Chain A
Amino acid sequence: MGTYAYPSYPYRAPDVVGAEAPRASVVIVGGGQVGLTMALDLAQRGTACVVLDEDNTVSDGSRAICQAKRSLEIWDRLGVAAPMMQKGVTWNEGHVFYRDEQLYAFNMQENPHSPFPAFINIQQYYVEQFLVERAQQEALIDLRWCHRVAGMTSNATGASLHVETPDGSYTQPCDWLIAADGVRSTIRGQMGLSFTGQVFEDHFLIADIVMQREGPAIRRFYFDPPWGPEASALMHRQSDNVWRLDFQLGWDVDREEELRDENVFARIRRMIGPDTPFELEWKSLYTFQCRSIERYRHDRVLFVGDAAHQVSPFGARGGNGGVQDADNLAWKLALVVDGSADPALLDTYDAERRFAADENILNSTRATDFITPKTRVSEVYRNAVLDLARDHAFARTLVNSGRLSVPAHLTSSPLNGVDELQGPVGPGSPVPALPVDGASSASARHLIGLVGQGFVLLVFGNQPEALRVDGRIPVEVLCEGRDFSDPSGEIAAAFGATDGGAILIRPDQHVMASWKVPTAADLSAALATVSGERA
């Protein structure tokens, strides 16, 4: 008996069978957490899309459980954070144990004002369910369940998909194709793109159990736990009294044997003790990999989420990275589709998100190398770090049980403009959630809630010049004192803003440029780098 009843979404037979369907502007292949986020973001920007998914339900098993603050901020912009917050379990702290002692604890919440915690734990099926329910309300999203993509071709003007349904197959042409079809991406395979990286020689048994257990919701990571033979173990609380247990088994194991119920139960018993009753909800055996394709844009085909890159789960950077892909791509594609920007803007998606994926791969590779040392000598060093960590603070900084997902700071983005203010939050960084008293709508009590639709220019103090831009892309000007207030001065301090200073914010809530005193020409020039117009 599971705690979750899998929904089954309505399948609709294709309008045409054995023929070509009307051309779509944007098709998203894959209605997982990344494809659905992409669809919602496009719809919010007025761009219609078709979503094709091979089945008619949500993620099989809980899979991703840790959703980071940045994902919640993005989903908040899309009107879907509230049910996730309500269902999810909030946590900010991680505790790391070695043998029978706690080595140290860390707190991920660096902004006391944030309306969101550093993380919530929520089963992936809930995340997808809430995204689907929101998408079902959007007239601009055409959700097609049990429409499996079996083949495709693409050229400089679009792509054509071979789609199979229970009622037969059809051809779906489109101008833009988003490959969000996960780690075994059909689109990636059809295009013959190599997906290369590193495989870690280790097995991890993941078990979700239901049990009544008190105690704070924190991430617990155990190196060489005293109760069992596992090299490491991880424990996380999810909603509905479901707990995620993750056991590191080693490389030379008999997979079938390890997955047998009695062996799984024995491991769980050793970890949680003999008395607490539990039910096993889900189990799965993994080896982990970190890999990526080389480019995320291929003319009219764009790769997002696991179809583009895969990381090991230590750090929760897979799903969270994918959601940031969607956040980055949706506004750009919407501008290109409506003719406001040249397609070259999409190359900045590739540059920015490949940079972010490299960072995610680097971090999760390092963590997995620490957890799964490749050689005997690296194991000796790893154990030396753990042995020293108890008495020597420096060694705790070397202990790596996963560097958890943080938003990408796109500091070397080709879109970044000048940084005259040189504040702590500069071009490429996401806007912090700082309080803005005097905001008009109830949901906009934080700076981040004021931005996220179009481009916004935040202006502090007096402006010598009326800032009007005449290009294809509009900019909303928000003045401190008039449109929002900064009573504590924290916002000005974050950007290093002085009297007359201004900060240009992108539709994905990242800073693009800052000026001491901008002119209309400065602003037009910055926006021309987005649209491709000549300023």
Chain B
Amino acid sequence: MEQYFGKAVKRVEDPRFLTGSGQYTDDLSLPRMAHVAMVRTPFAHARIRRIDTAQALEHPGVVAVITGQALRDANIGSIPPGWLLPDIKTPPHYAIAVDRVRHAGEIVAAVIAESRAIAEDAALLVDVEYEMLPAVSLGSAALASGAPAVHDEAIENVCFRWSIGDQAAVDAEFDRAAKTVKLSLRNSRLAPNAIEPRASLAQYVRASDELTLWTTSQNPHIHRLILAAFVLGIPEHKLRVISPDVGGGFGSKIFQYPEEVIVLYAARKLNRPVKWTARRTESFVSDSHGRDHESEAELAADDEGHVLALRVKTIANLGAYLTLFGPVVPTYLYGTLMNGPYRFRAIHCAVTGVFTHTAPVDALRGAGRPEATYLLERMMDRMAQELGQDPAELRRKNFIQPDAFPYQTPVALVYDSGNYEPALDKALTTLDYKRAREAQAALRKEGRYLGIGFSTYLEACGLAPSSLVGSLGAQAGQWESALVRVMPTGKVEVFTGAHSHGQGHETAFAQIVADDLQIPMDDVVIVHGDTAKVPFGWGSYGSRSAAVGASALKMALNKIRDKAAGIAAHLLEAAPEDVEMTGGQLHVKGVPERGKSFSDIALQAHLAHNLPEGMEPGLEATHFYDPKNFVYPFGTHVAVVEVDPETGRVTLQRYVAVDDCGPLINPMIAEGQVHGGIAHGVGQALLEHALYDEQGQFVAGSFLEYAMPRADDLPLFEIDHTVTPSPHNPLGVKGIGETGTIASTAAVANAVIDALGPFGITHLDMPFTAENVWRAIQGGKKAVA
């Protein structure tokens, strides 16, 4: 039989995507469907004095205008966060603002009409009288005394104060450290910009009192649970959530959004299907954003460069409202990652989560881990610079050694496995590090400024043991489900609680099934994204599909194989333990010529004419897999940049990535994930910035202003892998969906700072736009040739 695991099988979903025959939410159209245009406030903070909808309602073709008060009157609830921390403030988040708006882009009314164009025309006729209030957009400014309050219940705009690690132990290490370095760092805010804008379509069937929501979701079951039970207050079985083809999420499609509540409410109220699709300008101000930290960090080391302790204080801007994972991203997905792949004696990380008059901030590809990696890897470089040591070698001497696993860090995590030096060595060889440094030195004499930057990252993904996350405040489990249903002809349907929005599960998961049941991949179909078909599952984010979702699948397949072996043994008159599967046949060990194919067994299981005593008919198995630990991908990324000192323009010249995500199910898909991830992280370092001005206006609200990385901004990536399996899941796999983003921002940042070394620059905040770099050069010392 052909072995599929490890093969670069072409993606089965691509023909439909490449020929434009994918079915995205906006492609769907239902009879009598009405359309919504949202009226969004242009102001960051204002009191709503009056909303006059009369003119809009008179506009021909308008069906209804919905206000926040109407939703309150109908007892539509607030959208709750999914993670709680001690003493956290959770002010309500209503789908439509009632009396106050708290960020530019917040919805104040929804206009429903026969067409979207009519709805947009009428939206301009909704007359809202605002009383302007002062706004604050920067986390540290929101904490300052006298800052305008976002929510009356959050004193000084503090949502939570959280910390991890042993502060006294850190202080003691700092007292005796030979070297300490300190940096203030800002981690810039990003907009997610999935290529498919968010969209939602709701349908109500009065006869059964059932609602169906097609929506751009990474996790339809979470949507159903929260929207039904917490927001609409209807029985969970009266809402079906379908997430059809989804064009990218990057975290932004995890959360339950106001627009979803609005279409559900309107569909039921009007007894008509109601659809909304975000205009791109709406996406910029209403998708949840990512990052936005202000940090103070101090690193202590001995005089040889062995790191001792790390002290971090971070202000995390949460935006105006808490969304699903808002509280956990800058805490448990951030502070716990501060150890990286290094041997620290003590770490302390304190985070203040702050409300501001900006769009909510939540998970964005990497979610907390890119922020931690950026900070830690910048600090490692700063220390290397301070000690006059090579940044690669400083990292090497601090690596946790391969025999030290499982490894308990000072910030709660226990690393399951790791072997960090081979990845570093591979990256150095690929780069030809010595030559690269020589070239850098030679070019400096010609007035050219190259920089080489490292990121020897480590991340924790594959969320996560449910009891662990429960103890940390999660209002959710983090296991995953798989249902394998074998049909009488031996064709296999797999229902997974994981969700694919670009990751290629229909291919990778089918490879696993085909191998295990020794059937062609064409005989397998992977079904996901429909609460009416798929058993409850928690969806895809945090690089959990392979480690958790595919593990669930593997365990369900084991059950299928066991049952199939039992049937085969019965038919072959042998003991089940004497039956094995080779070449697509189940047969008695050593007697391959007398065997039964998997489809023979499937048929027998369904006919049930001759099954072992007591065995149930059918061939179907479900498994709910709760992981024992996170998985810990790691690797070394190296960026080489050139800075034009006249213009400040940074060009990325080379990019080397060596990642370890355990065994690769499909190397081509993994490579694609690495490519996209790197581009995403490079985008943050060099180009992207979801910037608000001091009045809370979003200043880069279109692709004319917001710079996404494009192919010609990037070199050809040089990528490679090492393979260190995770010891605790049945496939040994780890996540690869976020590593590129987690690693690359820091690598590029370190390369830029390295290039600027001759100007006496030791730190500069992202994004490294031409003007930022040019100004730093102007302010820095003159270069010495």
To the question of whether A and B form a pair in one complex, the answer is: no
